[in-house]
Amino acid sequence: MKDLAVIGGGSWGTALAIVLAPRFERVRLWVYEQDLAERMRSSRRNDVYLPDSALPENIEVLSDLQASAAEAEVVLGVMPSHHARKLYAQLVPVLHPDMLFVSATKGLENGSLARITEVMHEEIAPRFTPRVGVLSGPTFAKEVARGEPAAIVIASQDADLAKTVQVAFSGPTLRLYTNSDPVGVEIGASLKNVIAIAAGVCAGLGLGANTMAALITRGLAEITRLAVAAGGEGRTMAGLAGLGDLVLTCNGELSRNRTVGFQLGQGRKLEEILGGMRMVAEGVQTTYAAMDLSARLGVELPITRQMHAILREGKSPREGLRDLMDRSLKEE
């Protein structure tokens, strides 16, 4: 394959463009901020989101959304979840049935509670039925852009798409595994950010390895319950897009969601924390959507419930932890 469009010039979109550039003749990277796009074209660096990594010469930085995707063979969406519907709707006029669509966005749409691939289908399907896959796994953008080895998943019910993307994207530093459970992969990718905020809260409170191990294990259990209730497969949560991504995001200091939680545990207010961040911490909005989805599906999410109370209702982190420990006793 020769032509890749990357829609979203944040840290992850930029990192993917960099690592995939050797695999394609042409990579078009759409950047929302026009001034940033202009600087990237001249300096060949994303000075806001990924300043330490140079852009290969075959990456073309654009701020015209439709021009970024027109005639591409693969459209890789890496926008924040709350912008996904609007951007795909704007892209529809230049899309065509021969394109492959890959979503690397981690989150659920608030209000509809739709997974991002569902959003894509809703916006594109009136014109044609899109071939869609999900890209996810334990990755920090900075490390991927530096060329450090990483493994991720391409999930789709379209086996030919998954195999095609696997071959096209895999290289010396990025290894893709195929997966047939996009529902489980998307739920895992979304909910791990909620648990990562909780992990940050524990770290901010000064708690140690015992607490973190319990949180990750029980967090994985509730992610699995929600994924299965939504139509996914429990075994997916034992893989890269489940346990792998959860462990990374809960323990890695580069995790934005963990950072939000850490500062909450240190006593800072959510509005103050988010006001000082340029990059999106998807877990905050996902917490709200996850609680609504759990109510719709009848699934208990105790950690997510306490995070919802801390984030939206102003509950203190110590009180949230106490209420988790005081829940009625049960079998594992």
Where in the sequence numbering do the catalytic residues fall?
192
Q: Dihedral (C-alpha) 103, 301, 258, 87: value to the nearest 10 degrees?
A: 30
Task: Give DSSP secondary structure letters for 98-149.
Answer: T-EEEE---SB-TTT--BHHHHHHHHHTTT---EEEEEE-S--HHHHHTT--
Token pair 């892209």 is at which residue? 91
| Surface-to-core class of residue 82, CB atoms within 10 Å of its CB (0-12 exposed, 13-18 middle, 19+ buried) | middle
Listed in order, strand segments (DSSP E) in the chain are: 3-7, 26-30, 45-46, 50-54, 59-62, 74-77, 100-103, 131-136, 150-155, 174-179
- Report the length, in residues, of the chain: 332
Q: How far apart are the first and last CA of the chain?
A: 47
Tokens for 194, please give them: 């909620």
Number of neighbouring beta carbons within 10 Å of residue 213: 11
Encode burial over 270-286: b for 16+ CB neighbours within 10 A, e otherwise.
beebeeeeeebbbbbbb
The answer to whether 205 and 318 have CB atoms below 8 angstroms apart is yes
Tokens for 228, please give them: 């299965």
